[in-house]
Structure 1
Amino acid sequence: MSQQDVINIARNTIWVIIETSMPLLLVSMIVGLVISLFQTLTSIQEQTLSFVPKLLAIFIALMLMGSWLMNTIVEYMTQLWSNFSQYIR
């Protein structure tokens, strides 16, 4: 197994991590921004107000995108394990 193989595996792994975490992070960021705007407009200074809406939004996003996230991870792991014999040479 060459250094290039290791770099390719690491690059693909990082890409799958980014690809699967980005939708949830974007949902959390958008909900946090909306709550922050609401707090600014209403002069509410409660720091914990954004926690529950973010949690609910991430839960809903996981319910909607969960199958896609799982399929992406399973496809990558299947590809990685099917080529395992090439990597141990």
Structure 2
Amino acid sequence: MLGDGYIYDVLREALRIAVLISAPVLLAALVTGVSIGLFQALTSIQEMTLTFVPKLVAMLSVFWASMNFMTQSLIDFFQTIIIPSIAGG
């Protein structure tokens, strides 16, 4: 039977991996949103839908570029922590 401490360690590592994987996409959305917002403030353009397309393009491109990193992080997490826990090792 797995102890409470081990389960908390696995959950903490899973949350760390989730933050690590989502960080590039969220940072791309943040940078794009702030830059578009600054552009809107400087030019007095008050269009609410202007940020959607550039933010979507930036997020998709960063997601595509970092897909290998995300996949490798998940594979490492499952191979080193989850699968040995299921197998009882």
User: Normalising to structure 2: TM-score of the pair?
Assistant: 0.91
In the alignment, structure 1 residue 40 sits paired with structure 2 residue 26: no
The size of the alignment, in residue pairs, is 87
* % identical equivalent positions: 28
Deviation (angstroms), 1:86:
3.1
Q: Secondary structure at the match of 2:49?
A: coil
Q: Which runs of 5+ in 2 are unaligned?
A: none
Matched to 1:85, the amino acid is A
Q: Give the equivalent residue in structure 2 for 1:84.
A: 86
Structure 1 stretches of 4+ with a deviation exceeding 3 A read none
Q: Give the equivalent residue in structure 2 for 1:17.
A: 18
Between 1 and 2, higher relative CO (CA 8 Å, sep ≥ 6) is seen in 1
Partner Cα separation in structure 2 for residue 6 and residue 18 of structure 1: 18
Q: Which runs of 5+ in 1 are unaligned?
A: none
Q: Give the equivalent residue in structure 1 for 2:60.
A: 59
Partner Cα separation in structure 1 for residue 3 and residue 87 of structure 2: 14
After superposition, the CA RMSD in angstroms is 1.2
Partner Cα separation in structure 2 for residue 18 and residue 60 of structure 1: 19
Deviation (angstroms), 1:85:
2.8
